[in-house]
Amino acid sequence: MKKTTLLTITLAAATLTACNNDNPTPGTGADEPNFTASIATAARAYDNTWESGDAIGISGQSGDKTYSNLKYTTDGTGAFAAAGDHIYFQNNAEVIFTAYYPWSDAAATADTRLQASQKTFDYLWAQATGSKASPDVAFNLAHKMSKVVITARCGSDVTYDEVKKAVLALGEFNTSAAFDRATGIVASKDAATLTFANNATAEQNAPAIADDAAKTVAYTLIVAPQSFGSALTFTATQPGAQTYTAAIDFTAANRNAGIADPRNEWLAGYQYDIAVTIHKTGVSIQGCTITAWTEADGGNFDAK
């Protein structure tokens, strides 16, 4: 099982009366919630650790005071501090807080074709409650995007170097994402085909991990959850060689994962793993499995 890292957000005591007369001066530390947030060790697609300057946003309403998108940053140790205003309980009532990552002062939208910048749209979201009587507020941040991992390997008469140089694409799917920070829902639009490996536009190349021992290259895509009216097309082109395609439908993968009413779609918080073998005369796809981010057998696909 994956380990869980506990991230503690420290809210230093301070008064806000100097800048906002609507906030009462906190009388004790109990006026201030103690936030923690847990995520899986490898929860973020970009890496598995917090970096200095990473920021989350917290919102909530206590009494007549509304706190909206307050920014908290970390120095990389796992402790967070308010970058500006602090949150205080205004009365004894329970408060529902919302947290999301990564923080932004503008609308949370993304062009997911820019896979080299996927750190900026690996959206996490959670809600939790707290009060003066129970000031410890524990967020369990969950993924709101989908992850697709495509692992390419050598087939008949193809070298490892040729696999690394192959131009790979997937489409069409919606590449524009809009993240609702209040609900954690991601909407999408603008269908396009993404060339995610060896694209002349460097910003569209997905992060890749080459395994020299296994002679494979794994590409990780972060994409918006969405459904499809037909199978997606996977394309592989070797330099100076022919282009081969395969149709990929995700219905079986979702069914094997135990999804109720499985459909051809990417679901939020799920990782879809696809194994691709590149041959000199074609491409074969050995199936799609789902991991959590949850896992299921997705069937076999052939390209000719």
Query: Confidence class of residue 217 from pLDDT cuts 50, 70 and 90?
Result: very high
The yes-or-no verdict on residue 6 having pLDDT over 50 is no
pLDDT attached to residue 29: 53
**Which residues have CB under 8 Å from 242's CB, separation 6+?**
none
**H or E element: which one contains 161?**
helix 160-165
Burial (CB count within 10 angstroms: exposed 0-12, middle 13-18, buried 19+), residue 272: buried
83 vs 203: CA distance, rounded Å: 30
Tell me what the pLDDT averaged over the chain comes to: 83
39 vs 3: CA distance, rounded Å: 9
DSSP codes joined into one string, 223-285: E--EE-SS-EEEEEE-TTS-EEEEEE--HHHHHHTT-SS--SEEPTT-EEEEEEEE-SS-EEE
**Which residues have CB under 8 Å from 159's CB, separation 6+?**
none
pLDDT digits (tens, 9 = 90+) for 136-157: 888 888 899 999 999 999 998 8
**Which residues have CB under 8 Å from 195's CB, separation 6+?**
167, 168, 169, 201, 204
Query: Confidence class of residue 282 from pLDDT cuts 50, 70 and 90?
Result: confident
pLDDT attached to residue 16: 33
Q: State the CATH class of domain 146-303.
A: mainly beta
71 vs 85: CA distance, rounded Å: 8
Beta bridge partners of 101: 124
pLDDT attached to residue 78: 66
Residue 198 neighbours by CB distance under 10 Å = 15
> Average pLDDT for residues 263-286, to the nearest whole number?
91
* Chain centroid offset of residue 112 CA: 11
Range with lowest mean pLDDT among 46-50, 194-198, 200-204: 46-50
175 vs 233: CA distance, rounded Å: 15
- Domain pair 4-143 / 146-303, same fold: yes
Dmax (CA) for the chain in angstroms is: 74
9 vs 74: CA distance, rounded Å: 8
**Which residues have CB under 8 Å from 75's CB, separation 6+?**
52
Write the single-letter amino acid at 110.
A
pLDDT digits (tens, 9 = 90+) for 227-262: 999 999 999 998 887 899 998 999 999 999 899 999
pLDDT digits (tens, 9 = 90+) for 26-78: 545 558 877 767 665 444 545 546 778 888 899 999 999 999 999 988 777 66
pTM: 0.83
Q: State the CATH class of domain 4-143.
A: mainly beta
Q: Enumerate the domain spans of the chain.
A: 4-143, 146-303
C-alpha distances (whole Å) from 213 to each of 156, 157, 160, 210, 244 are 18, 18, 10, 9, 26
